[in-house]
Amino acid sequence: MGDSVASVDSPGRTTDVDFALVGHQESWRAAADVLGVLRGPERTPLPDDEIRDILPWIPPRAVCHVDVGSIAGAKARGLYIDSFISPDRLEADYIRENIARVRAAAACAIRAGAKIVSLGGFSSILIEGNFDQLPERHETVFTTGNTLTVGFIVQGIEKMCALEGRDLRRSTLLIVGATGDVGSGCARCLAPLVRRVLLSARNVDRLRRLAAELEADGVEVEVATPLQQFSAQADIVICAASLASPSLLLGRIAPDAIVCDAGYPKNLSPNAEIPGARVFFGGLGQITGGLRFTPDFHGVLNRHPFPDVVQGCLLEGMALALERRFEPFSQGRGFITQERVDEIEAIAARHGIRLAPLYNADGPLWPAQATIGSALGSRESASISSTDFTG
C-alpha cells in the first residue's frame, strides 16, 4: 500500500508549520474518500473490501497542508496528519495499537516542527493523563482542544433554547459521559444555569466526585449509570461519551428534549427512539477568515453541510496558532472551567472562528438560516482564497 497512496511532501523540520491537526476518520465512507483524494482522480476508486483490508496497514502520515486565515488579518499554516485508525477498531481491544498510531502521528507533527498540535477524537487520550506516551517533544506543545469544544457545545445549547423558546433556567440537563473531559467541562459551565443536573457514565465513584463538586456550589444533582434510573426526565441532553460507534439509546427523556450529540464517533444510535427530540451535532465551529487544504480535501476532511466547519478540538489549535499563543491550553482531564472557556472563546472570536450553523443527520436545522450561512460562507471563502492565500 505504501507507494499507492501519495503523502504531502514529507515535511522536514521547518519553521513554517505553525500547527498540526491529528485526526482519524469516523466512518468507512470518510476513510474511502480520504484515500480517493490521496490516490488521485486518475485512479479507479478502490472497492470497499479492499479499503477495509489496506487501511490498517497505512502508517500515520501528513496528508495535506492547511492554511487558515483570521478576520483580523493573521494567517497560520499547518498540516493535517491522519493516524489512519480504522473506524471499526476504536474499541478497548485495540487501545494499544491505537495509542501507538497516535504516538506515531504526534511524532510526525514534532518532526515537521509544528509549534502546536491539536489532538482530535480518540487522539486526545495521549494528553488526557497518559503523558508518558508522548514522544520527545522538542518545542512542540499539545492541546486536546476540549475547552473550545465545550464552549461550542454550550453555545449550541443556548442557541437551540433561544430558537425553540425554551427557558434554560427551568430545564433538567442530562450529560452522558459526564465525568469525561468534555462532559465535566459542560457540567461546570451549564450547571449554574439550569434547574437540575443528571450525570451519567459507567464509573459511579467518579460520578459521585463530580456531583459533590457541583453540589458544593448549590447545584441540584442526581447520578445514575443506567439512564432509566433517573427520577426525572431530561429536557436538555448532552451526549459526550467516548463510544466506539453510535450505540447510545437514550430511553426516557422529555418527548421534545433538545439533544446535543457531541461524540466523535457520534454517540446516538440510529435506533434511538426519540422521534420528537430536537437533535443537533455539537462542538463544531466555523472559520470565517478562510480555510484551504492542499491538496484539496474540502468536504472530505470536514464533512458538514456548511463551508469551513471544523470540530472544536481541531479549531482550538488553529485559533491559538492565529493568536501566536503556542501553549498547551487543554491538557489532562477535568480541568475545564467557565473562565478557561471564556478565554478560548474570546481568542477564537477575535479570529472569526464562531459557532457553526446547527445541523443533524437530516441536514440543517433551520433551512432559512442555512441558506444565509452557506451563501455568506462561500462568499467570504471565495474572496479570502483569492486575496489572502494567493501567491
Binding mask 111-130 for ligand NAP (x = CB under 6 A): ----------x--x---x--
CA distance 36 to 28: 12
**Least distance to ligand NAP, CB of residue 176, Å:** 6
Neighbouring residues of 223: CB distance < 8 A, sequence distance ≥ 6: 178, 198, 199, 200, 204, 207, 208, 210, 211
Q: Is 177 in the site for ligand NAP (CB under 6 A)?
A: yes
Q: What is the DSSP string of 110-152?
A: HHTT-SEEEE-GGGGGGGTT-GGGSPP-TT-EEE--HHHHHHH
Q: Is 283 in the site for ligand NAP (CB under 6 A)?
A: yes
Q: Is 240 in the site for ligand NAP (CB under 6 A)?
A: yes
User: Which residue type is seen at 370?
Assistant: A
For cell 481491544, what's the residue? 93
Among 85, 108, 262, 322, binds ligand NAP (CB under 6 A): 262
CA distance 49 to 52: 5
Binding part of the chain for ligand NAP, among 22-30, 32-40, 260-268, 382-390 by CB under 6 A, reads 260-268
For ligand NAP, which is the closer residue by CB, 113 or 242? 242
Q: Is 180 in the site for ligand NAP (CB under 6 A)?
A: yes
Neighbouring residues of 262: CB distance < 8 A, sequence distance ≥ 6: 149, 153, 182, 238, 239, 240, 281, 282, 283
Q: Is 311 in the site for ligand NAP (CB under 6 A)?
A: yes
C-alpha dist (Å) from residue 300 to 55, 119, 327, 328: 16, 18, 29, 28
For ligand NAP, the nearest residue by Cβ is 180
Q: Is 140 in the site for ligand NAP (CB under 6 A)?
A: no
Restricting to residues 201-220, name those near ligand NAP by CB under 6 A.
201-203, 206
For ligand NAP, which is the closer residue by CB, 308 or 388? 308
Q: Classify residue 224 as exposed, middle or buried by CB count within 10 Å of its CB (0-12, 13-18, 19+).
A: middle
**Least distance to ligand NAP, CB of residue 358, Å:** 13
Q: Is 151 in the site for ligand NAP (CB under 6 A)?
A: no
Minimal CA–CA distance to 134: which of 106, 93, 165, 170? 106
Q: Is 172 in the site for ligand NAP (CB under 6 A)?
A: no
Q: Is 331 in the site for ligand NAP (CB under 6 A)?
A: no
Which residues of this protein are in contact with ligand NAP, per CB under 6 A?
121, 124, 128, 146, 149, 176-183, 201-203, 206, 240-243, 262-264, 283, 311-313, 333
